[in-house]
Amino acid sequence: MSKHFKTTAFLTAALVSTALTSGAALAMDKDKAGVWGDDQSVSEGTVTAKKVMAEKNGWLVVHRTDEAMKPGPVVGHAPIKMGKNMDVAAILTEEVESGDMLMLMVHSEDGGMETGIFEYTLGAKEDGPIRKDGNLVMTTITAK
């Protein structure tokens, strides 16, 4: 075998190995559905999730909540794509006061009449909440 053939074969094997490893890592990321956010000011009329991991395209939805930790009315939403989404900002559609508790939740883009239009209302199935292992994919923050 020539030195050139050995080098080419080694580089090809290395590239294939890297591609397979990257694909596996990407597949694992999709399985880690979640929402990460911190308490934050809402004075600009938005709420931002630092990171959202989604198994498919959908929505970051901002619900009112309280100490009972049940999702209440929707007060904002923003589209998200499958995979990792960073700094997702949802425009608030209602007044939110400092001290209000908000639930940042992943919703699907399933069951509605139109793709790309958020159609969920509290309790509806259209564009409804995503569950992972039976639990809602969400986090709770407090407005400052």
Distance, CA of 112 to chain centre:
19
**What Cα–Cα distance (Å) separates residue 96 from each residue in 15, 65, 112, 113, 123?**
51, 12, 27, 29, 21
* Strand arrangement of the beta sheet that strand 46-54 belongs to: 34-36, 46-54, 83-92, 74-80, 58-65, 101-108, 138-142
- Cβ within 8 Å of residue 83, ≥6 positions away: 26, 29, 30, 53, 54
Q: DSSP of 25-70, one letter per residue?
A: HHHHHHH--EEE---B--TTSEEEEEEEEESSSEEEEEEEE-TT--
Report the pLDDT value the prediction gives residue 32, as an integer from 0 to 100. Answer: 84
Report the pLDDT value the prediction gives residue 75, as an integer from 0 to 100. Answer: 98
Q: How many CB atoms lie within 10 A of CB 124?
A: 11
Structure tokens at 131: 């569950």
pLDDT, one tens digit for every residue, the chain (144 residues): 555 545 444 444 444 444 444 444 444 444 589 999 999 999 999 999 999 999 999 999 999 999 999 999 999 999 999 999 999 999 999 999 999 999 999 999 998 899 999 999 888 899 999 999 999 999 999 999
Pairwise CA distance, residues 58 & 61, whole Å: 9
Report the pLDDT value the prediction gives residue 122, as an integer from 0 to 100. Answer: 85
pTM score, whole prediction? 0.78
Instruction: List the one residue out of 132, 140, 111 whose CA is nearest residue 55.
Output: 132
Q: How many CB atoms lie within 10 A of CB 79?
A: 15
What are the structural domain ranges in the chain? 1-31, 34-142
In this structure, what are the phi and psi dihedrals at residue 70, rounded to the nearest 5 degrees? -105, 140
